[in-house]
Structure 1
Amino acid sequence: MSLKIQIDAQIKAAMLAREQARLMALRDIKKFILLEETKEGKTGELTSDEEMKLLAKAAKQRKDSADIYRQQNRPDLLDKELAELLVIEEFLPKQLSEEDLKAKIQEMIARVGASAPSDMGKVMGIASKELAGLADGKAISMMVKALLA
């Protein structure tokens, strides 16, 4: 079942349950999907990989906004962003734990033969592709940097 169909079903359920925060988050996801599908040069259907990238982008936007609202002491807006983030994360694959992330990156470092911080680019190129959607880019970068130091 495509993400768009899942979102439509969830929107109907949220409307019936009168869950406004969830409904707004789902409508935002649907908006992102429709914008991506109607972009110039697109066929009108998204692949599952494109859908996951879209959701990851939306989740990152919510996290960044939440950090800003936390710094500015705006709990009203912070709560809204965090609620939307929880809804988005329901559709994303489960994120890797710190231990799993460390193990995968150590395996990649061994495969590439990296040994110094100057090799970070080699490892990041592979890690960002293989771990896309499974871990945050910032977390990957920090782990690679720590392991190569």
Structure 2
Amino acid sequence: MTAPLITLTVRGEPAGQGNLKGTAGGKLRHANGRDLHDWRGRVRGAALDLLGAHEYAALGKSGVCALCSVPKTQHAELLGAVRLEAVVTVARPKTARSNWPITRSSSDWDHYGRAIGDALTGVTYLDDSQVVDGRCITTYPYVHELALGEPGAVIRLWAVT
């Protein structure tokens, strides 16, 4: 396999996206809203820093970025199909008997993947619908070859040709 075009290392407790709770007013919200917002911000910030990029800034209805004059439809690093692989390292509970997080104490792998995919929208790619090949691996520190020694994630992206 070829080397990834983008490799991000994000440190901090990962948060999954997917568990919704109803409010008294009938609206749905993420059960872990604050943690999810913080995690997506760290992922997005790591991508912006690595790429030396900025968020799209609307300039009225012109469809171009107010900061760089790039059209919104071109305002991302990868414009075609994308392969995304994320190795998400979660803290190992003292009671864990397995090498893999297979209890309800951690989020499901697809919840982590959705949070990462949404966080990178508009920075590494225009929309997470461009991810045609996605893989998310959850692990404890040092178990997987790309696992970190602390909670966080290693995210790798390739252009699909």
TM-score normalised by length of structure 1 = 0.26
Higher strand share: 2
The answer to which structure, 1 or 2, has the higher relative contact order (CA under 8 A, 6+ apart) is: 2
Higher helix share: 1
Please tell me whether Structure 1 or Structure 2 has the larger radius of gyration of its CA atoms: 1
